Every structure is written in structure tokens, then in C-alpha cells.
Amino acid sequence: MWDYVAEDLPQLLFGHFPLRREAQAITGHSMGGHGALTLAMALPERFASVSAFAPIAHPTASDWGRRQLSAYLGPAEAAWARHDATLVTRARGFPGPVLIDQGCNDQFLASLMPEALAEAMAARRQEGVLRMQKGYDHSYFFVASFMAPARCVPRPSG
């Protein structure tokens, strides 16, 4: 999946649409939010910003996250650190803004651990915001409620 999102999809999009490379941003929900955060931090020169809806923010510290990392990456915990947004934020952060939207009524909140990521962002002085959204859970309705509609920005001529 990493190669598809990092290499294949951008190549396809830039090959077929008049997009501005310097205006790339990435977002995702839940595990996709986790992927957006870690991908942006791994490729900071590519992305101007990153946002995530209810991301798995500190998987190495939650039972659920540890099970998933073990299933995806194997039992060698040393390989997990680069796939944990909180640990990567502590180590190097991201040069652009980070936006995290999290539902206060998210049934998975204890496993997601957004407060750990917020603490790492504050300690690093990372530009970013954690918004706790009252009354929202982990559903796609939550995502649809806070994602702004896309708008077309004309590509500069020349």
C-alpha cells in the first residue's frame, strides 16, 4: 500500500491532470489517517500539509496497534517506530501544518491515543492542531462533517 500511495498514485495523477506538485497534501481516516501522518513525515519535501481524521496516533503504545504492527510488519519491534506518528513526531516532526480531527465519542479513542500525538507536537513545537469534536464517533459521517468540499484552483499559465 505504501508504494501505491507514495509512488504509483501520484505518478498516475500527475500524468493525467494539470496538478501543482508543490500543492500536495495528504489526509486519511483511522488507519488511513495513520498512514497519511507517517507518509507525510517520511516524505516531508513532497507534502505541504497533512491532516487525519481519528488516526491511530501511537500504535506502538496500544494493544490494538501492537497487534496490527505485528501482523503487518512482523514481531521485530525496532521496525515499528517509523510507522508510529507519535514517535516520528518526537524524532523529527513535519515541516508543515498538521491537523487532527478526533471525535470525542469515538468508540476506539483509548486505542487511538491522540493525546500522545498532541503532547509530542507540543514538545517539538510542531505547527498543528488537535480538534476534539464533541458528539462525533469514528464513522464516515464524522469525516464528511468536517472535510471541506474540494475547490478547483486554476493552474498558473506559463
Domain locations in the chain as residue ranges: 25-146
30 tagged catalytic: yes
Residue-averaged pLDDT of the chain: 91
pLDDT at 37: 97
pLDDT surpasses 60 at 158: no
pLDDT surpasses 80 at 157: no
* Catalytic residue chosen out of the listed positions 29, 30, 62, 84: 30
Q: What's the Cα-to-Cα distance from 128 to each of 7, 13, 84, 96, 145, rounded to whole Å? A: 26, 27, 17, 8, 20
106 tagged catalytic: yes
* Catalytic residue chosen out of the listed positions 29, 49, 106, 111: 106
Percent of the chain surpassing pLDDT 90: 80
Which residue, among 123, 110, 127, 150, has the nearest Cα to 27 in the 3D structure?
A: 150
| C-beta of residue 117 within 8 angstroms of C-beta of residue 89 | yes
| C-beta of residue 131 within 8 angstroms of C-beta of residue 106 | no
As a whole number of angstroms, the distance between CA 56 and CA 34 comes to: 5
As a whole number of angstroms, the distance between CA 38 and CA 57 comes to: 10
pLDDT category of residue 90 using cuts at 50, 70 and 90: very high
Residues 67, 119, 142, 140, CA torsion sign: negative
Q: What is the CATH code for 25-146?
A: 3.40.50.1820
pLDDT at 156: 62
Residue with cell 478526533: 102
Mean pLDDT, residues 30-51: 95
